[in-house]
A and B are shown apart, each in its own frame.
Chain A
Amino acid sequence: MKFAVVVFPGSNCDHDAYHAAKHVLGQDAEFVWHKDTSLAGADAVILPGGFAHGDYLRTGAIARFSPVMASVKAFAEAGHPVLGVCNGFQILLEAGLLPGAMLRNRGLKFICEYVGVKVEQTDTPFTSACAPGQILNIPINHGEGNYFADDEVLDRLERERRVIFRYVNAAGEAAPDANPNGAARNIAGICSERRNVVGMMPHPERACEPSLGSGDGLVLFESVVKTLAEQGRMAVQK
């Protein structure tokens, strides 16, 4: 299968995502410049982390208007898998592909550390190979990951099982002390109504090899391959 990794001016995790997909997972991957309108025939799209357009105004606010985003939106609306990581999640929120918004971290500090992330739901293209309740040890790296939505939206996300990842402590509990940034209900990631668009603040692409500190993130990439193979959407190249 083929991953498209969108590159905005200021993206800085694009190579990590490309490396994870191509060299660690062994699938095809291609960079797509933000001014392109073609997604290079990809089966899945990744909006990587970084500071797209400098994150001027608000995180993701300018990136949302990059030409490629119209294609990403159409791709998402057609039901194909789209993963937004960190800044990519912030862009999905600004673009209205996922509900809610990001606020500055509760403690105002930029946080770069490994956190415990519980996989709450496995029926998305990016968690299908996870065990229910699996806890991933992967890093966060952001100044604005304090997820906000009003109670009505949060209740709806819970009811529709669209909270996909939560920050948890060593006991696997989404306790206040496990919440690094003040995110509502310890939310680290959510999905769209159709479940094919997933946004998350933690960085799975930076934790795909034990030599980098953790290999826990690779299962998200393996999940896409599994889901697409099950749907018969593509021939798995191995």
Chain B
Amino acid sequence: MKARVFVTLKPSVFDPQGRTIVEALHSMGYGGVDAVRQGKYFELDVNAGTADEARTMVSEVADKLLANPVIESYRIEIAQ
């Protein structure tokens, strides 16, 4: 089973990399891009009986390691 985890900085946390990227886009002429937030993307191959089991395990993994709850939040997608 495949799991995808998207880790992003919480809205209240300043993202210096995102800011630099949006400034670069503006200098490239893409004034239509108002803001960029950078994050991390993980693909996990998991061995689990059901999608729910996979989700439970991946949430645990994200809480413990993939994301730092002080500054980041995450979203999980399970693909059969």
Residues of A at the B interface (CB closer than 8 Å) are: 57-58, 61, 65, 93-94, 99-101, 103-108, 146, 148-150, 182
Contacts and interface: CB of A to CB of B under 8 A. Distances in A.
A199 to B, nearest CB: 14
B66 interface: yes
Nearest to A146: B16
A106 B70 contact: no
Contacts of A150: 12
Interface of B: 12-17, 20, 65-66, 68, 70-71
Contact of B68 (A58, A106, A107, A182): A58
A101 B68 contact: yes
Given A61-B65, A108-B20, A103 B70 contact: no
A103 B16 contact: yes
Nearest to A107: B16
B70 A182 contact: no
A101 B16 contact: no
Question: Interface residues of B: mostly helix, strand, loop or mixed?
Answer: loop
The 7 closest A-B pairs by CB, nearest first: A101-B70, A101-B71, A104-B16, A101-B68, A108-B16, A106-B16, A108-B20
A110 to B, nearest CB: 13
Contact of A108 (B12, B17, B68): B17
B17 A57 contact: no
Contact of A57 (B14, B15, B65): B65
Contacts of A57: 65-66
Contact of B70 (A100, A105, A107, A146): A100
Contacts of A107: 16
Nearest to B42: A57
22 contacts: A57-B66, A58-B68, A61-B68, A65-B65, A94-B68, A99-B70, A100-B70, A101-B68, A101-B71, A103-B14, A103-B15, A103-B16, A103-B71, A104-B17, A106-B14, A108-B17, A146-B16, A148-B13, A148-B14, A148-B70, A148-B71, A182-B16
